[in-house]
Amino acid sequence: MDLRFQRCVLLFGEENFEKIRNSKILILGVGGVGSYALDCLYRSGVSDITILDYDVYDETNQNRQIGSEAVGEVKVKRLKELYPTVTTINQKMDMKWVEEFNFDPYDLVLDCADTTKVKIEIAKKCYKKLIMALGSAKRFDTSKIEVASIWKTHGDALARKIRNELKKAKFDRNFTVVFSPEEDNCVEKGSCVAVTGAVGLTVCSETIKKILK
């Protein structure tokens, strides 16, 4: 056994660890939330992870994003250096991309992106295999983080907007979200890695639970 994953095997058992190792995961967005979800899954033994992002690191990312010391570099390129087995897609997510992209090969899709319209379309297209991260900016209290169906969320403006738009589209299916009802602590998009990272780690935990379920 690879000693790197010895503690994982001790925790999950050999059969369950093989389920984790053989899962195929897509992470959409690898910023303050997605980079921590990636790190957690990679260290937990998932061998087939695809990451998609289009951004380049700047100095303002350095308070919360893994890999952000490489200012000026393409995020997925830098993360490929840190996590060599990942597959990278350097692509901007827009409505056309969601419409054309084939989500079928993936066991689970982790939406850690920012654009509301795109998040809504992703939910419509692959809700059965979706775990969605919602707003994590303007917060610093990790104890407020919750996991629920999109229809059971509360106190999160982004969740409310997504629910309303899905209702307008007469979409009533369930999917899992990670969110925080903590009240905003600033007007602009201030952020703390305690929360953005914890949301990403919670996304990872929910992913493992779904794999084993």
Q: What is the mean pLDDT of the chain?
A: 96
Q: What is the DSSP letter of 97?
A: H
- Give 2's pLDDT tier (boundaries 50, 70, 90): confident
Return the pLDDT at 89: 98
Give the pLDDT confidence score for residue 197 in this predicted structure.
98
Query: Which of 30, 36, 136 lies closest to 74, judged by CA?
Result: 30
Render pLDDT for 148-187 as a digit per residue (tens, 0 to 9). Answer: 999 999 999 999 999 999 999 999 999 999 999 999 999 9
Q: Please compute the mean of the pLDDT values over residues 123-128 and round it to a whole number.
A: 96
- Residue 17 CA to residue 12 CA, distance in Å, equals 6
Give the residue-averaged pLDDT of 99-117.
96
What is the model's pLDDT at position 189?
A: 87
Work out the number of other CB atoms within 10 angstroms of the CB of residue 51.
26
pLDDT of residue 55: 96
Q: Give the residue carrying structure tokens 């952000």.
A: 68
Read off the pLDDT of residues 76-93 as tens digits, 9 standing for 90 and up: 999 999 999 999 999 999
Q: What is the pTM of this model?
A: 0.96
Task: Please check the confidence at residue 9 and state whether its pLDDT lies above 90.
Answer: yes
CA distance 180 to 135: 7
For residues 177 and 135, the answer to whether their CB atoms sit within 8 Å is no
Alpha carbon distance 98, 95 (integer Å): 5
Edge to edge, the sheet with strand 108-111 lists 87-90, 48-53, 24-28, 108-111, 130-133, 176-179, 146-149
Q: pLDDT category, 1, cuts 50, 70, 90?
A: low
* CB 112 within 8 Å of CB 203: yes
Contact indicator for 144, 181 with CB cutoff of 8 Å: yes
Distance, first Cα to last Cα, the chain: 24
How many angstroms separate the CA atoms of 157 and 52, rounded? 25
Q: Which domains does the chain have, with CATH numbers?
A: 3-212 (3.40.50.720)
Contact 169, 117 (CB under 8 A): no
Who's near 104: CB < 8 A, 6+ residues apart? none
